[in-house]
Chain A
Amino acid sequence: MATHQNSLEWRASVREIRNRLKVLTERYPIIANVLIIVLSALLGYFIPYLAAEPIFRTEFNNPEQNFILMLARAGWYSMFALGYALVFSILGLLNLAHGAVYMAGAFAGLWITANQDLPIEYALPAGMLAGGLIGILVDWVAFLPLRARNAPRTSQLISSIGASIFLVNLAFILFIDQFNAPVNRFPAEKVNSIRAFQGTVPIERIEVFGLTLIDQLDYTVFPMQVTMFVVAIVMLIFLQFVIAHSKIGKAMRVVAYNPKVAQLLGINVSLIFAVTFFLSGAFAGAAGVLQGMFRVVGPFMGSEVGLIGLTVIVLGGMRSIPGAVVGSFIIANLQIATIAMGYSWLEEAVVFLALFLMLLIRPQGILGEPLQDRA
């Protein structure tokens, strides 16, 4: 009995701390996010470090390099997962077509640079615009009719799978049509012409508070990787800022709380849904373009990141936008650590194992509220 009472008290105090933290993160989103990122990154420095250092240190497998790889990955995943989490937190629905939107953004960026011969600077805005518009289209076709008749959430899951398969295979046909091949690359000379991507960044030593993070890097950092990370951070902060301070962000929060109440308050709920899907799609499109420049663009490029992004938001808490970033860092760390230890063939397995275990242990995710089950 006494222990029961103790555990109740303990839980209450944990809840209290969580609530206070929540209030703080809502009041100072940017500071909170920067803190989250710095903490995750520091953690992410030591995990691959510990994993790689003792046994496997080689020219291609050293903690400094792993750290940069991890940051790039985490940036890529968060950019993708932010949109995923945004839609879930506002509408409470899981949009499995998000990977297809990511692919569509990359495709649009590729198309205007490779086929329309526009400068590479246009790729990112084009990808974001295309992603945003296709995001809205997916909402109209796959979700709106179901919302209108109050269909169960699983129906929305099914229709988004349908939309995803359709988009991916349509893109396949378009790829064949435009490039005579199912995959293509951004023109190398154009990618290399971007100043931020040029050359190598000479990093010799990075210290934070006297702690040496990177020392004598005998490895050339692809500026691309750093860019990926920086763009992701900028977007995250932008999104948090919009939600916290803009008028439309406030409306979004009301809609997330209860669309009917929002309607009564005179908020244009349809507009908010459209904005949500546009933002979500634009983020996915941006991630697609950047990653596409780094690797290749193809109709199926979204399926892998789609499942990883799903894991990311489950880990972080599906309703939590900072959670998407936390989840991204965790997954990136896990993957890089696995690779560093020499088990690169388990790179996917750890992701899904993490997904599975998280759902069993704490389905609401790290930063999520407990799922409640009304009698």
Chain B
Amino acid sequence: MLELREVTKNYGGLRSLDSVNLHAEAEMITGLIGPNGAGKTTMINCISGLDHPTSGEIIFDGHSIERTPAHRITGYGLARTYQNIRLFNQMSVLENLIVAQHSDGRATLVEALFFLPSHLREYRQQRERAFELLERFHLMNVKDAPAGSLPYGDQRRLEMARALATNPKMILLDEPTAGMNPIETHELGEHILQMKEDGLTILVIEHDMSLISQVCDEVYVLNFGVIIANDTVENIKQNEEVIVAYLGRED
């Protein structure tokens, strides 16, 4: 579904990603772990089109996307969340979910001007889809509140709902449990597994090994921009290099 070939990203003199190769199998959950500053967010930015790699290829669902603008990548069916939550804070929860369905819409300004039925129908459909997501992520009772006023856990879930609203085939989650307690983390893991059930491909970046153990089929380990290991969760936990680079730091 997603493949990175020899992807390198330089910021000035700093090499954030160094010949990274990665393959995320369709309808599987791939994990990406690594210490702070390893280049995980940089990788997601390059995949989702907010940034472009210095060299290398990124192939998503048959499209070569390393130079494609972000909105087009979304149109191909790739969605993401952000490490530091980035909701449209002044919009209501419902509006956040409606604006995310932009690519699926066709209605033009002219149709809106003359109240054409196509415009109204499309808006009604988008509302319905938004309500489904509100229901699923337990956000119904806050649907009219400004997104910025929500408690932290709700914001995390809204961000995930918003990513799903773009109607993706694959979703990239950047540290989705940052700042959550173990119970909330586990609950979020359930949501992620549910998405897999629904046929979504998932790449999840994490710090927290418990979520990785809970959901991942395969794990990549990134350290200083280099992939140092790629294996199942159990094997990764045994891997010497990984323990030194990353897990060892935790205890």
Does A234 sit at the interface, judged by CB under 8 A? no
Residues in B36-64 with C-beta less than 8 Å from chain A? 45, 50-51, 55
**A208 within 8 Å of B by Cβ?**
no
Residues of A within 8 A of B51 (CB): 375
Closest CB-CB distance, B73 to chain A, in whole Å?
13
B194 to chain A, nearest CB (A): 29
CB of A373, distance to nearest CB on chain B (Å): 9
Interface size class of A (residues with CB under 8 A): under 10
**Residues of chain B with a CB closer than 8 A to A4's CB:** 55
Contacts of A375 in B (CB 8 A): 45, 50-51
Minimum Cβ distance to chain B for residue A182 (Å): 46
Contacts of B158-203 to chain A: CB distance below 8 A: none
- Per-residue contact bits, chain A 358-375, to B (CB 8 Å; 1 contact, 0 not): 000000000000000001
For the complex, what is the distance from the CA of A4 to the CA of B66, rounded to whole Å? 15
Chain A residues near B50: list those with CB within 8 A: 375
Closest chain-B Cβ to A372's Cβ sits at a distance in Å of: 8
Contacts of B45 in A (CB 8 A): 375
CA distance A375 to B45 in the complex (A): 7
State the CA gap A4–B51 with chains docked (Å).
19
Give the distance to chain B from A369, nearest Cβ to Cβ, in Å. Answer: 10
Interface residues of A in 1-27 (CB under 8 A from B): 4
Closest beta carbon of chain A to B49's beta carbon, Å: 9
A375 to B50, CA, bound (A): 6
How many angstroms between the C-alpha atoms of A367 and B55 in the bound complex?
Answer: 28
Q: Which residue of A lies closest to B52 (CB)?
A: A375
Distance A4 CA – B50 CA, assembled complex (angstroms): 22
List which B12-54 residues lie within 8 A (CB) of chain A.
45, 50-51
B44 closest partner in A (C-beta): A375
What is the minimal beta-carbon distance from B78 to any residue of chain A, in angstroms? 15
Interface residues of A in 210-250 (CB under 8 A from B): none
Q: Report A79 CB to chain B, min CB distance, Å.
A: 34
Give Cα A40 to B50, complex, Å: 40
- Minimum C-beta distance from B16 to chain A (A): 11
Q: How far is the CB of B100 from chain A (nearest CB, A)?
A: 19
Instruction: Give min CB distance, A48 to chain B, whole Å.
Output: 39
- The CA of A375 and the CA of B55, in the complex, are separated in Å by 18
Docked pose: A4 CA to B53 CA in angstroms: 14
- B55: which A residues are within 8 A, CB to CB? 4
Jot down 4 A-B pairs with beta carbons below 8 A, ordered by A.
Answer: A4-B55, A375-B45, A375-B50, A375-B51
Where the two chains meet, the residues of A that have a C-beta atom closer than 8 Å to any C-beta of B are: 4, 375
What are the 4 closest A-B residue pairs judged by CB atoms, nearest first? Answer: A375-B50, A375-B45, A375-B51, A4-B55
